[in-house]
Amino acid sequence: MLLGGTETVATSLEWALANLLNHPRVLKKAKTELDTQVGYHLIKESDFAKLQYLRCIISETLRLYRVGPLLVPLLASADCTIGGYDVPVMAVRVFPAGTTLVVNAWAIHIDPTLWEDPTSFKPQRFESGRVGAYNLIPFGMGRRACPGDGLANRMMTLTLGSLIQCFEWERVGKDKIDMTEKTGITMSKVEPLELMCKARPILNMHLS
């Protein structure tokens, strides 16, 4: 549980920072929002409701780079039809428990029938608040959804917000950050993220 609750958030934060450094206008807008809405105190949970654009950045990161592309497998308890396909409850000796169903969240998150320009990083797509209930499912859905959904969102908002609020970030070199993904059960970057940072005045003020 500890590994699942920390590695996934850390990997998502790495993807978020990489995207922000490749999209400086998005980073600047997030920084302006934090400076305006939070001011000179360090970000805390009571500020989250005022940080709509930061939350859009997190949603867009989880859409494009969900750490686990596949949701937890489900078992059919009764014969059913899904998307025109018949799913039977199998009763054979090798697999007596039934048909296993796996939801490909990654495919849903980049489906061009659900998302405009689905492979581009565009946090503004969430600003309207009009997103289909099952179009964005980074934590699963229904009774089998991840129980750590709320905690993970709070951890990401607090950590990413603090990193943007307290530091100026730069890429190492002039080239854009390589966004190539590893293949496997979890989806992390092929090349670990390397950045340069320096403290912003707000951090110096709180440390002095």
DSSP class per residue in 13-75: HHHHHHHHHH-HHHHHHHHHHHHHHTTTSPP-GGGGGG-HHHHHHHHHHHHH--SSSBPPPEE
Handedness of CA 152, 2, 67, 120 (dihedral sign): positive
146 is in an annotated binding site: yes
Report helix, strand or coil for 80: strand
Report helix, strand or coil for 167: strand
Distance CA 9, CA 7 (A): 6
Contacts of 159 (CB under 8 A, 6+ apart): 9, 13
CB 49 within 8 A of CB 26: no
Interior angle at CA 73, CA 67 and CA 74, nearest 5 = 140
**Which residues sit in the known binding site for heme?**
146
**Which residues sit in the known binding site?**
146
